[in-house]
Amino acid sequence: MSFSRPDIIRPPSEWRSYFLPLTRGCSNNSCTFCGYYGSKLQIRDADDSKSEIDALALFTRSGIRLPNVSKVVYAVAQGWDGNRVFLQDGDALVYPFSKLKEVLQYLNEKMPRVERIGTYATPQDILRRSSDELKELKQLKMGIFYTGLETGDDELLQKIGKGANSHDLAEAGKKVKEVGISFSVTIILGLGGVEGSKKHALETARILTEIDPDYVGALTLTLVPGTPLYEQWQRKEFHPLSPFQSLEELRLIVENSNFTDCFFSSMHASNYLSVRGKLPSDRERMLRELEAVLAARDPSLLRPEFLRGL
Interface residue list for ligand SF4 (CB under 6 A): 26, 28-29, 31, 34, 36-37, 90-91, 122, 148
How many Cβ atoms are within 10 Å of 264's Cβ, its own excluded? 25
Q: Provide the residue type at 277 as one letter.
A: G
The residues with which 270 forms a beta bridge, in sequence order, are: none
Please report how close the Cβ of residue 304 comes to ligand SF4 at its closest, in angstroms.
Answer: 26
Select 88 or 122, whichever has its Cβ closest to ligand SF4. Answer: 122
Alpha carbons within 13 angstroms on the beta-carbon side of residue 114 total 31
Angle, helix 193-211 to helix 243-256, in steps of 10 degrees: 30
Q: State the pairing for strand pair 18-21/84-88.
A: parallel
Rounded to a whole number of angstroms, the minimum distance from the CB of residue 9 to ligand SF4 is: 9
C-beta closer to ligand SF4: residue 19 or 37: 37
Task: Report, in Å, the least distance between residue 34 CB and ligand SF4.
Answer: 3
Comparing CB distances to ligand SF4, the nearer of 148 and 217 is: 148
Q: Confirm if 228 and 38 have CB atoms less than 8 A apart.
A: no
C-alpha 250/C-alpha 184 separation (Å) is: 17
Phi/psi at 16 (nearest 5 deg)?
-95, 5
Nearest CB to ligand SF4, comparing residues 34 and 286? 34
CB of 172 to ligand SF4, least distance (A): 12
Q: Do 235 and 184 meet the contact criterion of CB atoms below 8 Å apart?
A: no
Q: How far is the CB of 173 from ligand SF4 (least distance, A)?
A: 15
**Closer residue to ligand SF4, CB minimum distance, 86 or 244:** 86
